[in-house]
Amino acid sequence: MKAMYTAVATAHGGRQGHVKSDDGMLDLDTVTPKSMGGPGGDGTNPEQLFAAGYAACFQSAMQFVAGQQKIDASESTVTGHVSIGPNENGPGFMLAVKHVVTLPKLDQAAAEKLVHDAHAVCPYSNATRGNIEVEFEVTGGAA
């Protein structure tokens, strides 16, 4: 792959630590959620960071595809839900993703097609395809 851009971030201390990008735009404490046995509190966690990144990337993929298809995906939202749990097929843990997608300017069929087409081109979708469960809840708004 010929890289168009490379993001660089460094983690210290894992889930009870700090993450920072090389340009300083991302500079956050990490905290294990109480539901995972941690203290909770002020800070983010890898699942929140993944949810934010995948949601933003997926919305960009929808906008790209909508532009190619000359349809209106403005005012759309993507809310990413990333869950972590035990790997039922072996040691360790697994992730699962659910995106709640709202496309108020498209009817339901057009909204579902756009999400399907965007899933084929989104880099996060391509990275996770076949590795983790990814599902979509799609709502169109136009009559």
pLDDT in tens, 39-87: 988 999 999 999 999 999 999 999 999 999 999 999 999 999 999 999 9
Residue 14, pLDDT > 80, answer yes
Mean pLDDT within 81-97: 95
Mean pLDDT within 103-122: 97
20: left (phi over 0), alpha (psi -120 to 50) or beta: beta
Residue 142, pLDDT > 80, answer no
**What distance in Å separates the CA atoms of residue 126 and residue 128, rounded to the nearest whole number?**
6
Predicted model pTM: 0.94
**What distance in Å separates the CA atoms of residue 40 and residue 66, rounded to the nearest whole number?**
39
Contact 76, 102 (CB under 8 A): yes
Contact 45, 29 (CB under 8 A): no
Residue 143, pLDDT > 70, answer no
Q: Give how far Cα 82 sits from Cα of 53, 55, 68, 136, Å.
A: 11, 10, 29, 12
pLDDT > 70 fraction of the chain, expressed in percent and rounded: 99
| pLDDT value, residue 85 | 95
Residue 36, pLDDT > 80, answer yes
For the chain, give the mean pLDDT: 96
Q: How confident is the model at residue 138 (pLDDT cuts 50, 70, 90)?
A: very high
| φ, ψ for residue 118, nearest 5 deg | -65, -35
Q: Among the residues of the chain, which ranges form H helices?
A: 46-69, 108-121, 123-128
Domains of the chain, earliest start first: 1-44 (2.20.25.10), 46-140 (3.30.300.20)
